[in-house]
Amino acid sequence: MKDVMELKELVELIRTVTNMYQHGWDERNGGNVSVLLDAAELAEYLDLSRVHRTIPTGFSAPELEGKCFLVTGTGKYFKNVQYEPCKNLGIVRLADGGQSAELLWGLSDGGRFTSEFPAHMMSHVARLRVDPENRVVMHCHPANLLAMTYVHDLDERAFTRTLWQMCTECVIVFPEGVNVLPWMLCGTNEIGEATAQKMATARLVVWAQHGIYGAGRDLDETFGLIETAEKAAEIYMKIAHLPRVNTISDEALRQLAAHFGVKAREGYLQ
């Protein structure tokens, strides 16, 4: 059997969460990531019949029955993942219609998966319906996007248009725009359900006064989505108090979308 520490998704997740911490997106134990794994491939690295313990999830997700996920642990500091991955990460398999998670590897100190596990799993269900290749859900606290939710209208069209106008790449990277939730209590099924609903139409969901959720086909794509939106928010926060002399026009956004073969969200351009 192969060494699980050589599992591609595990190697990439360690690198990614380290990078997220270094970007300042995941202070203390803030933020969480989950990756849908291929069970057949995983069987080359782990004995899938060996369940270390079973953890109740507190929700139901029949669509994910039997699926395996690599997840970050609750209360774990991203800065420590690269040094003790077996303690800070876990590989789980959903059972009982998603109401329990069988621990196959990791969380070796007796810990649990992230407190945002419901939001992650519900978002996986929503994104898999849209794109069966979407395998990653990522949550973090980028400072400029967070700051933007204090001073900008939270209307999704307005929020998206502002981000698109800040960087040429934005309409290309997230042509479906961003969806926005008002402040809600985190770590609950309610915010999980609300996030999943928003995930049906966009891969980025902003949690006002909290952070952002991103989804994608792999860790690079998902990190890049958030990175691009955060860069746009940074530019906005630097110029929001100044008179805007120039901007990226709607006609320019249409040209970008056409040139790069993407479709800007219907009704978002004038």
Overall domain count for the chain: 2
| Tens-digit pLDDT profile for residues 145-181 | 999 999 999 999 999 999 999 999 999 999 999 999 9
CA distance 21 to 17: 6
Helices 156-166 and 219-239: crossing angle, nearest 10°?
90
Residues 102 and 44 in one domain: yes
Is 266 one of the catalytic residues?
A: no
Residues 120 and 108 in one domain: no
Residue 245 is encoded by which pair of tokens?
A: 């002399």
The average pLDDT across 71-92 equals: 97
- Amino acid identity at 48: L
Contacts of 154 (CB under 8 A, 6+ apart): 180, 182, 208
Instruction: Give the CA-trace dihedral at 178, 30, 17, 4, to 10 degrees.
Output: -120
| Tens-digit pLDDT profile for residues 185-216 | 998 999 999 999 999 999 999 999 999 999 99
| Tens-digit pLDDT profile for residues 17-69 | 999 999 999 999 999 999 999 999 999 999 999 999 999 999 999 999 999 99
Q: Per residue in 116-133, is it b (16+ CB within 10 Å) or e — as a string? A: bbbbbbbbbbbbbeeeee
**DSSP string covering 161-218:** HHHHHH-TTHHHH-TT--EEE----TTSHHHHHHHHHHHTT-SEEEETTTEEEEEESS
Tell me the CA end-to-end span of the chain in Å, nearest whole number. 57
Residues 105 and 148 in one domain: no
Residues 66 and 193 in one domain: no
Residues 255 and 167 in one domain: yes
Residues 34 and 158 in one domain: no
Residues 86 and 139 in one domain: no
Average pLDDT over the chain reads 97
Contact 113, 74 (CB under 8 A): yes
CA distance 153 to 133: 33
CA distance 60 to 99: 5
| Tens-digit pLDDT profile for residues 131-147 | 999 999 999 999 999 99
Residues 104 and 209 in one domain: no
Helices 219-239 and 143-151: crossing angle, nearest 10°?
50
Give me the CATH number covering residue 234: 3.40.225.10
Domain, as residue range, for 167? 116-270
Catalytic-labelled residue, pool 9, 102, 116, 156 = 116
Residues 37 and 144 in one domain: no
